[in-house]
Amino acid sequence: MKLVNVYHVDAFTKDPFAGNPAGVVPDADTLTVQQMQQIANELNLPESAFLMQSDHPEADYRIRYFTPTTEINFCGHATVGSSWLLATERGWLEKGRPIVFETNVGLIPVALEVEAGKLQKVTMTQISPSVREIDLNQEEVARMVGIRPEDLDDRYPMKLASTGGLHLLVPVRTREAIDRAIPVLSELGALNKEHGITTTHLFTWDAPEGYDVYTRDFAPAIGIPEDPVTGAANGALSGYFALEGFLGEGEIHQLVIGQGHAMGRPGTLTVTVETAGADPVIHVGGAAHITIAGQLRLREDL
């Protein structure tokens, strides 16, 4: 019997049962890809991260991400959860330097913010953001995500954005409209698969008190009806704000993004957007809470 250490980490929150749950397997070197996918399916969390040794000279770990149904190239909340686990349970905090992950999309450094000897927040620097056009019937998109056409906010273009995964950004006028959205998951999943989209991300500046932006995220194409709090999608959204000129150039912008409230799992992302260079630099941070620690038992012949 092979014993595999497995953790359940709630990311973008300091509290258990809030934020976005991620599975984290910190010792995955001996696992096959099939086993990783089976474990992710068994954990049945939005995403699970598997850490292993890296051959890259600048990386500390190789990290791979799986939803219950498929591997994806990048996941923000599972990166936060993995970093929190390494810092608090695996002694990384004592090293006094960032953790660098090798992902399918490149190197992702994660800085650790400490106060009075305790970890307060981890912040990942995502790869350079990109934005591109997509020719869609916006009324059809509104129907698929479960809002009215008049709920769309025409001040902002509906586009695709990425900092590792491709996200369809849907601007919405009010938080109320986002909260009452009931997507047609089968149709939305088919649309996303057709265009290689990882998630469909609704956003509004009509945010609750204490937040600048409020979002909600649907990902049926990769086996996740709704992703509670998304580091990758909100990083891509922040890049979109910069690249589309909604944030002033040559400045450092701080955004507080709220997500998960509609699911009863509220989470908070702190995003820093640097616009002084040739490309915007996106830093996405948050806290986490290790909710479950245990062992998975695998038969040796599997």
Active site residues: 47
Burial (CB count within 10 angstroms: exposed 0-12, middle 13-18, buried 19+), residue 3: exposed
Tally the C-alpha atoms within 13 A of residue 180's C-alpha that lie toward its C-beta.
Answer: 8
Strand 213-219 to strand 252-259: parallel, antiparallel, or no bridges (unpaired)? parallel
Return the H-helix or E-strand segment holding 238: helix 231-243
What are 255's strand-pairing partners?
271
Q: What are phi and psi of 134, to 5 degrees?
A: -145, 130
CA nearest to 258, candidates 204, 199, 187: 204
CA distances from 28 to 8, 39, 50, 63, 296 (A): 15, 11, 6, 9, 12
CA nearest to 257, candidates 207, 198, 199, 201: 207
As a three-state string, the secondary structure of 113-182 is EEECCEEEEEEEECCCCEEECCCCCHHHHHHHHCCCHHHECCCCCCEEEECCCEEEEEEECCHHHHHCCC
Please name the residues in contact with 150: beta carbons below 8 A apart, sequence gap of 6 or more. none
**CA terminus-to-terminus distance, the chain:** 10
What are the b/e assignments for 7-24, b being 16+ CB within 10 Å?
A: bbbbbbbeeeebbbbbbb
CA 105 – CA 74 distance, rounded (Å): 7
